[in-house]
Structure 1
């Protein structure tokens, strides 16, 4: 492996490590906080670590060596107008995929349609409104950088786009870990398709953020009113 490829791979690993740190830091710190302050302080710490992780990933994404030159990135990324249109199209597709996959899970496995993770996050956001930034902004940004930009981009030449998207989708589903593996796996494949279609990581980010915003719509309406 030459120095340029090693540098790009190292930066992809750094992106993944930043994501893991942003997720795990509150888990390790909260037990050491005073019991009365654990929930509010933990929420603030989670929000700050997600914000910091997102900023670092956006900054690193501007570095040319972050993106390797391969069959996926050899084509120019879509301009902003096309990216936004495909992001909105991707959002509609993501909602439909989520509905279909949840109903399939229910028919086959009798899994509840509601996502436990989503319910917990919405409950926390209802009590701590600023946490909604994590749901509709920071999480989509970080997850797309990790599961699509870092993983798909760096596997595509080795195992092809289908293999890279499948591995990314499986990891995406496992990371959410609430039993709805078909839902998250299908969404992971869809977001990979959006990235592949436009070669612009902002496309799945827009679709992902809009989908999360719809899930948080009841809380958003309360904040606005």
Structure 2
């Protein structure tokens, strides 16, 4: 399998996984179980994409990865760095567009989480895993082989921001750019998964404590 085929497989699988819960609700009227179905499909989807990644070829960014210990350290450090990026981007977003510092997407999920605690699996494990494999590895990694790395990172990060369906595009794009940088620096997609998952966990715990 070529790298392009691997990237295509990751992206298409991800899109199908996202559509399954909505399809179940629309065709079978199972709206009350939407988040449960989403948790199941996203969890299985994350495992499937991890399997595809394990079995697939490495891209040009992964040819010379950091040693495992350093990659893990960067992953943990990346949690704090990602939170700092989020705070700075949020301040810029508020100054430019007067947007609330709180994300509607996040608030909706936090409200649902209090009633359906299994959603924490999506927020802190499944979604970050799939998003890193798709937006950082498949899209950023794939485009980096053909385009200037900065342009590839911008495209990947804008798509990452758009798919969250939130008005805070600057925040999501900034986080995406940081994670692209981290992936390129470490050569390990697992580093960005750790950082992304850890950032989501901190944000989730913050909201639940208030």
Both proteins in one fold, TM over 0.5: yes
Given the two structures, how large is their TM-score scaled by the length of structure 2?
0.94
State the shift of 1:22 in Å: 1.5
**Map of 1:17 onto structure 2:** 12
Partner of 2:88: 100
- In structure 1, runs of 5+ residues without a counterpart are none
Is 2:195 the partner of 1:200? no
Deviations 1:142-180 (A, max 9, x none): 000000010111111211221111111111111112111
Q: Do residues 178 (structure 1) and 166 (structure 2) align?
A: yes
Match of 1:63 in 2: 55
The answer to whether the 8 A contact 2:6-2:56 is kept is no
Out of 183-192 and 19-28, give the one that drifted further. Answer: 19-28
Instruction: Report the Cα offset of residue 220 of structure 1.
Output: 6.4
**Equivalent residue number for residue 210 of structure 1:** 198
Query: Does the CA-based 8 Å contact 1:126-1:219 persist in structure 2?
Result: no
TM-score w.r.t. length of structure 1: 0.88
Provide structure 2 residue ranges, at least 5 long, that are not aligned to the other structure: none
Partner secondary structure for residue 62 of structure 1: helix
Indicate whether 1:26 and 2:21 are aligned.
yes
How large is the RMSD of aligned CA atoms in angstroms? 1.7
Shift in Å, 1:13: 0.9
- Deviation of the 1:31 alpha carbon: 2.5
1:210 Cα deviation from its structure 2 partner = 0.8
4+ long deviations beyond 2 Å: 31-34, 218-222
1:118-153: per-residue Cα shift (whole Å, max 9, x none)?
001111111100110000000000000000010111
Distance 2:145 2:7 in 1: 15
Q: Which residue of 1 aligns with 2:45?
A: 53
Q: 2-side partners of 1:221 and 1:85: how far apart? A: 27
Q: Which has the larger radius of gyration?
A: 1
* Aligned length, in residue pairs: 210
Cα deviation digits, residues 34-65 of structure 1 (max 9, x gap): 4xx522x2111101110111011111111243
